[in-house]
């Protein structure tokens, strides 16, 4: 039996144009982000829908169908599973790479702060994403600075030749 399509909510604005505002059950931000980041061809291949329909959805001429939303959510969740595995691996390798003789308290500090921050901001964030994350924290300036120190050391290691991830600064 086929799953029911996600609920799409329609509202009529004052100019009597029909506009749509999607409401999805899992992650409300994944579908618009995926629509903007992926090409029409890639979206059509992923969802088995026509390129013309995808193009109309991207331009806002038509609302996304339930099939398109489900395809994008499935792709998003599969992508997140792979990235979360890489994130955990990166944090573990970073902690193992710390020089011998470092205080166990320092290792705990890095582990505590990085295990909260890196899954949220990812392995390749922009400066704006880092700034937004630090500003969104509900702690004192000293607490935010502690996050900044841990994140800074982690990304310096990640983008160095010592890490096996192959990230390079742009």
List the chain pLDDT tens, one digit each, 170 residues.
454 444 444 443 444 344 444 444 444 455 666 677 778 887 888 788 888 988 888 888 888 888 888 877 777 766 666 566 788 888 998 999 888 778 999 999 999 999 999 888 888 888 898 998 899 989 999 999 999 999 999 999 988 888 777 776 66
Same domain assignment for residues 68 and 104? no
Same domain assignment for residues 71 and 102? no
Q: Which of 43, 76, 109 is the last residue of a domain?
A: 76
Q: Output the pTM of the full model.
A: 0.55
CATH number at 54 reads: 1.10.260
> How much is the pLDDT for 25?
45
Give the tens place of pLDDT for each residue, 30-62.
566 667 777 888 788 878 888 898 888 888 888
| CA separation for the pair 160, 169 (Å, rounded) | 9
Classify residue 57: in a domain, yes or no.
yes
Query: Domain total for the chain?
Result: 2
**What Rg value do the Cα atoms of the chain yield, rounded?**
21
Same domain assignment for residues 26 and 66? yes
Q: Which of 44, 76, 108 is the last residue of a domain?
A: 76
> How much is the pLDDT for 38?
74
Same domain assignment for residues 53 and 112? no
Classify residue 1: in a domain, yes or no.
no
Same domain assignment for residues 42 and 102? no
CB atoms within 10 A of CB 165: 16
Rounded to the nearest 5 degrees, what angle is found at the Cα of 33, between the Cα atoms of 44 and 50? Answer: 15
Classify residue 3: in a domain, yes or no.
no
Which residue segment(s) compose the domain that 111 sits in?
98-158
């Amino acid at each position: 039996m086929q799953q029911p399509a996600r609920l799409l909510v329609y509202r009529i604005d004052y100019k009597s144009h029909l506009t749509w505002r999607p409401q999805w059950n899992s992650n409300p931000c994944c579908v618009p982000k995926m629509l903007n980041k992926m090409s029409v061809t890639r979206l059509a291949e992923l969802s088995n829908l026509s390129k013309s329909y995808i193009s109309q959805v991207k331009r806002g001429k038509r609302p996304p169908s339930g099939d398109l939303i489900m395809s994008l959510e499935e792709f998003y969740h599969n992508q997140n599973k792979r990235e979360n595995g890489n994130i955990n691996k990166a944090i573990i390798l970073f902690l193992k790479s710390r020089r011998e003789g470092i205080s166990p308290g320092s290792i705990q500090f890095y582990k505590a702060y990085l295990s909260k921050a890196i899954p949220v901001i990812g392995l390749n964030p922009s400066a704006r994403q880092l700034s937004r994350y630090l500003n969104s924290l509900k702690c004192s300036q000293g607490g935010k600075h502690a996050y900044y120190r841990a994140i800074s050391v982690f990304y310096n290691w990640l983008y160095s030749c010592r890490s096996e991830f192959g990230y390079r600064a742009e």
